[in-house]
Amino acid sequence: MKRRLDSDLTKVGDLPLTRSLAKQYAPTRARLQFIEAAAEIIENPTKPEAAFLARQLVLCTLPHADPGDVPIFTRRCGAVTLTLVPYLDRRTGKTIGYPFGSIPRLLLFWITTEAVQKKTRRLELGRSLADFMRAIGLNPDTGRGKRSDAKRLAEQARRLFRSTISFEATEEDGEAIREAWDDMQVAPRGEFWWSKASPEQSALWGSWIELSEGFYNAITAAPVPFDMRALRALKRSPLALDLYAWACYTAFAIIAKQLEPQFVSWKRLLRQFGAGYADSDDFKRKAKVGLRKVAAVYPGLAIQTKRGGFTIHANRLAMPTRPLVEKPVNRKVIRVKRSPLEG
């Protein structure tokens, strides 16, 4: 006869969170790791690991996929436009390509966090490639081929650090038009001393980059805080990383201004994040998956699907600046013509 479990013990599979996530995601190794990470965040919501990203890079994001051989990449949010120009290799006469996907996003989170916390333009990348990979949530033990984390990191880091990022804003006031811009090279100076074959091998000298003054000032002026644990959980999806950053920023506005749940149409989300997708239905399908993942790693965030879009609300910040008294999430829905993000 089988022994019964003690009355105060619960099987992991019986937990509401586990049951909910198991229905949404097939039990692959990567998805089980995501469920474990989400459970850890929900069980310890008041123990986040601080990470930061510039407000401009929350609203206007890097490409999700390789834009290909095009002279510039642009992304617009309201009156603000991000323009990305790849570095031209003088030896070959060709560009080295655009930074795209999850890795440059993780790099930007790391760069901003280091700059904010250490208050310096010169950033040390670690005594070895493995140290740096772990710092941004990558695995130095994932093979040695073209798809290894080490190979992809080296390539995407080079593309990001050597690229030029521009932020432009245009405003009209009657007959007057105001144009403002800021063209910035990410890291005009730096040194890499890494062994791709042996990521654990220490370099003879430390690898480093020096951020341009303009880029440093831009990312440290008004950085948005995030939970690094969530970034690691979402690291496989550039869209999920973008949606998490956007949700954290939106939640901050909702809580700070004590707003009602905000309605966001799929069309508006497509304009902001949907460049490069096959069609609006393809983006909507993938955005729904991404939003479910975001809600799983953000305790206190409420996302409800509605006709033509969804509502978003929150009763706590992803990265609290002070102890918060949680309040019930108000389910009342209002439609707004303009999002707080576009103010």
Digit-coded pLDDT (tens) for 37-46: 888 898 888 8
Between 316 and 27, the higher pLDDT residue: 316
Question: What average pLDDT does the chain have?
Answer: 82
More confident residue, 205 or 120: 120
Say if residue 343's pLDDT is above 70: no
Q: Which of 9, 43, 2 is nearest to 296 (CA)?
A: 43
**Which pLDDT does position 135 carry in this prediction?**
74
- Asked if pLDDT for residue 216 goes beyond 50, the answer is yes
Q: Which two tokens stand for residue 131?
A: 């140290």
Does pLDDT of 206 surpass 60? yes
**Residue 116: pLDDT over 60:** yes
Per-residue CA distances from 144 to 76, 136, 184, 199, 288 (Å): 37, 19, 34, 10, 34
Burial of 76 from C-beta contacts in 10 A (0-12 / 13-18 / 19+): middle
Tell me the pLDDT tens digit for each residue of 157-168. Answer: 999 999 999 999
pLDDT in tens, 62-115: 999 999 989 999 998 888 899 999 999 999 999 999 999 999 999 999 999 999
Distance CA 225, CA 206 (A): 28
> Counting every residue, how long is the chain?
343
> Residue 20: which pLDDT band, with cuts at 50, 70 and 90?
low
Angle subtended by helix axes 213-221 and 102-118, to nearest 10: 80
- For 215, the enclosing helix (H) or strand (E) is helix 213-221
In the predicted model, is pLDDT for residue 330 greater than 50?
no
pTM of the model: 0.81
The reported pLDDT for the residue numbered 194 is: 66
**Helix intervals (H) in 258-306:** 266-273, 280-296
Q: 225: pLDDT confidence band, cut at 50, 70 and 90?
A: very high
- Kindly tell me if the per-residue pLDDT of 210 is higher than 70: yes
**pLDDT at residue number 275:** 77
**Strand 88-89 and strand 50-54: pairing?**
unpaired
pLDDT confidence of residue 2: 44
**Single-letter amino acid code for the residue at 42:** I
In angstroms, the CA 196 to CA 68 distance is 25
Q: Which residue has the higher pLDDT, 333 or 70?
A: 70
